[in-house]
Amino acid sequence: MITTSRKTKNFYDRIADVHNLALKLNGYKDSVAKFLKSLNLGVTSETMVLDAGSGTGIVTLAFHQAGFRPKKTVAFDLSRNSLKLAIDQTRKEKNVDSGNIEAVQGNILCLPFADESFDIVLSCGVLEYVDLDEGLRESARVLKPGGKLVLLPVKPSLVGSVLEIIYNFKIHPLEDVRKISQRYFNIVGNHKFPIAEPIAWSKAIFLLEKK
């Protein structure tokens, strides 16, 4: 019997190119970059970053487009085809430090990294595929004390409901996100985008700091 994670992997392996093109056409990357640039993340040349559920690398690219130059960024995803696209794109972008971006395949509920390995974890539209508590707990495990989780969950909305059907995930109520997040993190920011920003159509934004 194929597990849920296997189904998700196979699905994104099939649609990687189309999904990536859609995100490019709607200006999503620029919208994410603008948001990330507004955050005080304290990125230095020693910062270790994990893009957990990176897909085709849109958030990784946006992070570098925002001007951040960490020591290393790990793009982590179930889908091998998505990761291949991510790495191919980083090599083509002039404003991306592609030599310090590494692709790793795996499940976000079982991250193959030691405790307290990262200073920043980026998580965009991926915890909808897993138990929210398990996903947040695993993100907290690999973060250093005081490390930050930039969490962009899919928000309940008309667009969100359409995405639930297309991508076969389940939106977590935002009140659950707030409540469960506080088991492992302090909420230091809960941002809202102008409706004109493409990211505002589907995502809510939480900046969390590990307790």
Residues 6 or more apart in contact with residue 9 via CB below 8 angstroms:
78, 79, 80
Q: Of 14-18, 63-67, 113-117, 201-205, which gets the smallest average pLDDT?
A: 14-18
pLDDT above 90: percentage of residues in the chain: 71
Is pLDDT at 150 greater than 50 in this prediction?
yes
Residue 20: which CATH number? 3.40.50.150
Residues 6 or more apart in contact with residue 193 via CB below 8 angstroms:
31, 35, 199, 200, 203, 205
Cβ atoms of residues 189 and 206 within 8 Å: yes
Instruction: Name the residue with tokens 């998580």.
Output: 123
Question: What are 7's two structure tokens?
Answer: 């189904």
Cβ atoms of residues 109 and 82 within 8 Å: no
Is pLDDT at 133 greater than 60 in this prediction?
yes
pLDDT tier, 11 (very low <50, low <70, confident <90, very high otherwise): confident
Instruction: Name the residue with tokens 């270790």.
Output: 48
Question: Considering only CA atoms, which of 135, 77, 130, 66 is closest in space to residue 102?
Answer: 77
DSSP 8-state assignment for residue 173: P
pLDDT tier, 25 (very low <50, low <70, confident <90, very high otherwise): low
Mean pLDDT of 120-136: 96
DSSP 8-state assignment for residue 98: G
Amino acid type, 88: D
Q: What is the per-residue pLDDT across 54-70, written as a single tens digit (0 to 9) for each?
A: 999 999 999 999 999 99
Q: Which residues span the domain enclosing 76?
A: 4-210
Tally of domains within the chain: 1
The pLDDT of residue 26: 63
Cβ atoms of residues 169 and 158 within 8 Å: no
Bridge partner residues of 191 (DSSP): 205
**pTM for the complete prediction?**
0.92
pLDDT tier, 3 (very low <50, low <70, confident <90, very high otherwise): very low
The pLDDT of residue 200: 85
Q: Of 61-65, 74-78, 187-191, which gets the smallest average pLDDT?
A: 187-191
Average pLDDT, the chain: 91
Mean pLDDT of 105-127: 97
Mean pLDDT of 35-41: 91
- Comparing 182 with 23, which gets the higher pLDDT? 182
The pLDDT of residue 48: 98
